Amino acid sequence: MGDVTARKRGRPRRTESDAAGTRDRILVAAREEFSERGYEKTSVRGIAKAAGVDSALVHHYFGTKEQVFEAAVEVAAAPALSAPAALAEGPLEDIGERFTRFIFGVWENPATRLPILAIVRSAVNNETAAAVFRRLVAAQLLRRVADQLDLPDAELRVELAAAQLVGTAMLRYVIKVEPLASTDIERIIARVAPVVQGHLTGP
Amino acid sequence: MGDVTARKRGRPRRTESDAAGTRDRILVAAREEFSERGYEKTSVRGIAKAAGVDSALVHHYFGTKEQVFEAAVEVAAAPALSAPAALAEGPLEDIGERFTRFIFGVWENPATRLPILAIVRSAVNNETAAAVFRRLVAAQLLRRVADQLDLPDAELRVELAAAQLVGTAMLRYVIKVEPLASTDIERIIARVAPVVQGHLTGP
């Protein structure tokens, strides 16, 4: 960040900001391609075409398709991955509700729902995408929640809490099972948050 | 069933048993194609080829691709759809453990895991397949569990219980998040069954 500020004040370094613009354009194109087509049907060539650059440039900036996917997911999941800090602020007896509200917040917001949906769809269908999901979401988000618990089985507790949230999101937003899909979100949170709390800090 | 027995005792009606054989062969081929390729990449032509019949015959017996999928899912999910009867046998205070053991039984058994995985993958990726999932699994399995509860919000309760089970299955068997993926199933059941029970019959 310090670098960016310094550069803004001085003369813009043309080639570097061009490079940053190209990199961003490729990332936006990648996110859209992966969201629309899923991991398997997306190609580096298709991403390059959507970004208006040569495939070689995509490889130059990111490497393989898996690495482009990881970078795109990292951007899409950035709010989720920075959240554990916010989740950590507050008493441990409310962590269930904070975790629940955070996850449903991501799903209820149309701007974040689509990228998350794309990640879930890709992870369910493709082992490479599942590995990226494990590295980013599981390792970063879940482990950091687990670190706050300071309990034996902390990781398993967090994963079973996440399972309740993931499963509810799947049935509500993806499969759209009724009445779950159209029930007011506050009624869902009232039922789910105590369960999540129980997984995290219960017996 | 009575019909089949009657036919066995008498002279076999050649054309009818041929038709049943062809129908079964198409269903087996359809299940394999949908499992391997997922809903979107599977075609009626591909199913016909795998079954060694003409595409017109697949349309004749089943109709559209969606209808072939529904028939194939119905066969694959037959144990799941007949289970509510077994789930109903026993006291209501154990229903959480029975429901939990039933679902993990399907996922732990390699013979049933693959068809269920194919259904989940297709339902996550395709709205038509999701609609079939809703009709078969949600409407038949979940509603029949809900009917036993005789509580207000019974359907929502069953769906949130199912969400815990679906989410745990996703993270354990599909995404393979550790330590959940390699934890002994009895330890998982010991943690999950009380949660499922709480959803179903708790406050």
pLDDT in tens, B22-69: 898 999 899 888 877 878 889 999 999 999 999 999 999 999 998 998
Q: How far, in Å, CA of B56 to CA of B62, rounded?
A: 10
How far does B23 lie from chain A, in Å, by closest CA? 29
Q: How far, in Å, CA of A160 to CA of A177, rounded?
A: 21
Residue of A116, A140, A191 to mutate, testing the B interface (most B Cβ within 10 Å of its Cβ): A191
Q: How far, in Å, CA of B148 to CA of B156, rounded?
A: 13
CB B168 within 8 A of CB A167: yes
Q: Looking at this protein, which amino acid is placed at residue B104?
A: F
Q: CB neighbours of B193 closer than 8 A, spacing ≥ 6?
A: B96, B97, B100, B101
Residues of B in contact with A121 (CB under 8 A): 124-125
User: Which of A38, A187, A195 is closest, CB to CB, to B195?
Assistant: A195
Query: What does CATH list as the number for B2-64?
Result: 1.10.10.60
Asked if A34 reaches chain B (Cβ–Cβ under 8 Å), the answer is: no
**Cis? peptide before B84, omega within 30° of 0:** no
- Residue A48: what pLDDT? 96
Domain ranges of chain A: 2-64, 77-201
> pLDDT grade, residue B14 (50/70/90)?
low
Most confident of A100-104, A114-118, A160-164: A160-164
Residue B98 has pLDDT above 60, yes or no: yes
Q: Which residue of B has its CA nearest to A192?
A: B160
- Residue A14: what pLDDT? 53
- Residue B165: what pLDDT? 96
Is the CB of A124 less than 8 angstroms away from the CB of B165?
no
Asked if A135 reaches chain B (Cβ–Cβ under 8 Å), the answer is: no
A83-89: average pLDDT: 69
> pLDDT grade, residue A85 (50/70/90)?
low
Percentage of chain B modeled with pLDDT above 90 = 43
- Residue B143: what pLDDT? 84
Asked if A117 reaches chain B (Cβ–Cβ under 8 Å), the answer is: no
Q: Which residue of B has its CA nearest to A120?
A: B124
Segment B162-179, tens digit of pLDDT: 999 999 999 999 999 999
> pLDDT grade, residue B160 (50/70/90)?
very high
Is the CB of B174 less than 8 angstroms away from the CB of A124?
yes
User: Which of A142, A171, A178 is closest, CB to CB, to B162?
Assistant: A171
Is the CB of B155 less than 8 angstroms away from the CB of A123?
no
> pLDDT grade, residue A17 (50/70/90)?
low
Q: Which DSSP letter does residue B152 get?
A: T
The class level of CATH for B77-201 reads mainly alpha
Q: Which DSSP letter does residue B11 get?
A: -
SS (H, E, C) chain A: CHHHHHHHHCCCCHHHHHHHHHHHHHHHHHHHHHHHHHHHHCCHHHHHHHHCCCHHHHHHHHCCHHHHHHHHHHHHCHHHHHHHHHHHCCCHHHHHHHHHHHHHHHHHCHHHHHHHHHHHHHHHHCHHHHHHHHHHHHHHHHHHHHHHHCCCCHHHHHHHHHHHHHHHHHHHHHCCCCCHHHCCHHHHHHHHHHHHHHHHHCC
Crossing angle between the packed helical segments B55-62 and B44-51, to the nearest 10 degrees: 110
User: Which of B124, B130, B191 is closest, CB to CB, to A160?
Assistant: B191
Is the CB of B160 less than 8 angstroms away from the CB of A177?
no
Is the CB of A163 less than 8 angstroms away from the CB of B142?
no
Asked if A191 reaches chain B (Cβ–Cβ under 8 Å), the answer is: yes
Residue B106 has pLDDT above 80, yes or no: yes
Q: Looking at this protein, which amino acid is placed at residue A193?
A: A
> pLDDT grade, residue A198 (50/70/90)?
very high
